[in-house]
């Protein structure tokens, strides 16, 4: 059983309203069968889940509810109007109106209509939208295709344009694939065109095992390419400071925040804290639940924990959170994650600046949570950190002369 102090208050609940997606992106972490599954989280299931969560002792003062893991806009605005109404009613009854709840939908943007825009205006500040777009068409359409292999960039763009015309702001999330590394200016300038509408921009370097192979030469080449991409992107970023373009790039902002945060706040940003049990709960359409990171499914880690259910910890229709918090399975997974963090802390000089999230990558690579300095670490963490620190040092030197 896990000591209580090792369980975080729940900050985020990721809801899979439906696993179904209208697109078939080449890098999607959900399997094809999952993305073709049209199951929907039913209103009574959603109500039972939030009775369980909001009535528990594992909440603090606020909660974010995020719909993703499937295309949320496959369901209609009326679905979300009812779901949000139910959650807010339960909030008022169980926690009081001062308990903060915000909502977001992570969408591919292809299904945004005027009806959606009206819905977003109606709900105002309590809901936000994150749109997945990989930049200009030649990068986006290389990977983000429909089930019939058609390009989707125009449809995503139409959604972004409609949001803009309605005066609605959104977050933008891009996957940066290896073919994008040669085009940092085209990549980031695409998003700069929407700077007035984008609240926050974030990119994820595609990290499938086949992208970063085990061959050291290939890892070095990939890291060098990524370092060059970042340097050129930072040069564009610096020019924006002069020409007044205001697009916040969260990858950079989070890194600077981590570096410049007060010593007392630093533990909040480290890998251990980011993946504390319960900080994020992922709930599938049928109430199955996992924790540690957003988006984890029952497919992770095979039968490592002996029940054939991957990292799933139970079902919120039948298991209360005390039972899940006290379960032997959660204790075993948490022990594996802690062994992973302890190994990082011991072995890796980048530990203080690593945002974490690599526990499962280590396991997939080496079937060993205590592995450190994987090829992904070298590219994503070390190359990123070194490039940004070099850039900061260069800027500091040039402003000193």
Tell me the helix, strand and coil percentages in the chain, rounded to 5.
Answer: 50, 15, 35
Least gap, CB of 356 to ligand SF4 (angstroms): 6
- Residue 170 · residue 160 · CB < 8 Å: yes
CB 15 within 8 A of CB 41: yes
Rounded to an integer, what distance in angstroms lies between the CA atom of residue 279 and that of residue 62?
Answer: 12
CA–CA distance, 376 with 383 (Å, rounded to integer): 10
Secondary structure E strands in 42-164: 59-67, 100-107, 127-132
Q: How far, in Å, CA of 134 to CA of 142, rounded?
A: 9
**120: which 2 tokens?**
């977003």
Strands (E), 23-99: 59-67
Distance, CA of 185 to CA of 237 (rounded, Å): 10
Strand 10-15 and strand 314-315: the pairing is unpaired
In this structure, what token pair is assigned to residue 2?
Answer: 């896990």
What sign for the dihedral angle of Cα 180, 186, 189, 193?
negative
User: Is 41 in contact with 162 (CB distance < 8 Å)?
Assistant: no
Q: Which residues bind ligand SF4 (CB under 6 A)?
A: 344, 348, 350-351, 354, 358, 372-373, 377, 381
Distance CA 57, CA 241 (A): 45
| Cα→Cα distances 247→87, 158, 260, Å | 33, 20, 20
User: 270 or 288, CB closer to ligand SF4?
Assistant: 270
Give dist(CA 347, CA 148) in Å, integer.
47
Taking the CA atoms of the chain, what radius of gyration do you get in angstroms?
21
Whether the CB-CB separation of 305 and 337 falls below 8 Å is answered with no
d(CA 23, CA 69): 12
| CB 257 to ligand SF4: min, Å | 17
- In whole angstroms, the minimum distance from the beta carbon of 276 to ligand SF4 comes to 16
Spatial distance between the Cα atoms of 24 and 41, rounded to a whole number of angstroms: 21
Nearer to ligand SF4, 103 or 363 (CB): 363
């Amino acid at each position: 059983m896990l000591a209580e102090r090792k369980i975080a208050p729940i900050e985020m609940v990721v809801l899979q309203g439906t696993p179904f997606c209208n697109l078939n992106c080449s890098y999607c972490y959900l399997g094809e069968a999952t993305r073709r599954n049209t199951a929907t989280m039913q209103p009574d299931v959603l109500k039972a889940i939030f009775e369980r969560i909001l009535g528990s002792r594992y909440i603090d003062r606020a909660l974010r509810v995020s719909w993703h893991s499937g295309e949320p806009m496959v369901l209609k605005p009326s679905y979300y109007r009812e779901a949000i109404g139910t959650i807010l009613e339960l909030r008022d009854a169980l926690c009081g109106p001062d308990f903060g709840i915000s909502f977001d939908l992570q969408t591919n943007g292809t299904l945004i209509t005027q009806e959606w825009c009206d819905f977003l205006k109606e709900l105002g500040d309590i809901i936000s939208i994150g749109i997945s777009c990989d930049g200009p068409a030649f990068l986006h359409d290389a990977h983000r295709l429909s089930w019939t292999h058609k390009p989707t960039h125009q449809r995503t763009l139409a959604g972004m344009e409609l949001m803009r015309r309605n005066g609605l702001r959104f977050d933008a999330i891009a996957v940066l694939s290896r073919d994008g590394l040669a085009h940092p200016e085209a990549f980031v300038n695409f998003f700069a065109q929407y700077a007035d509408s984008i609240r926050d921009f974030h990119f994820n370097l595609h990290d499938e095992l086949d992208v970063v192979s085990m061959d050291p030469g290939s890892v070095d080449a990939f890291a060098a390419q990524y370092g060059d991409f970042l340097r050129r992107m930072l040069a564009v970023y610096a020019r924006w400071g002069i020409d007044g373009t205001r697009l916040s790039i969260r990858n950079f902002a989070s890194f600077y925040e981590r570096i410049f945060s007060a010593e007392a706040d630093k533990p909040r940003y480290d890998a251990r804290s980011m993946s504390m049990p319960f900080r994020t709960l992922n709930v599938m359409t049928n109430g199955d639940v996992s924790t540690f990171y957003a988006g984890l499914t029952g497919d992770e880690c095979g039968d490592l924990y002996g029940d054939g259910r991957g990292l799933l910890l139970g079902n919120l229709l039948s298991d209360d959170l005390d039972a899940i918090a006290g379960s032997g399975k959660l204790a075993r997974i948490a022990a594996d994650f802690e062994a992973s963090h302890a190994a990082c802390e011991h072995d890796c000089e980048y530990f203080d600046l690593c945002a974490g999230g690599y526990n499962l990558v280590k396991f997939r690579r080496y079937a060993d949570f205590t592995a450190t300095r994987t090829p992904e670490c070298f590219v994503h963490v070390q190359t990123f950190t070194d490039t940004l620190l070099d850039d900061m040092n260069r800027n500091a030197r040039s402003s000193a002369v």
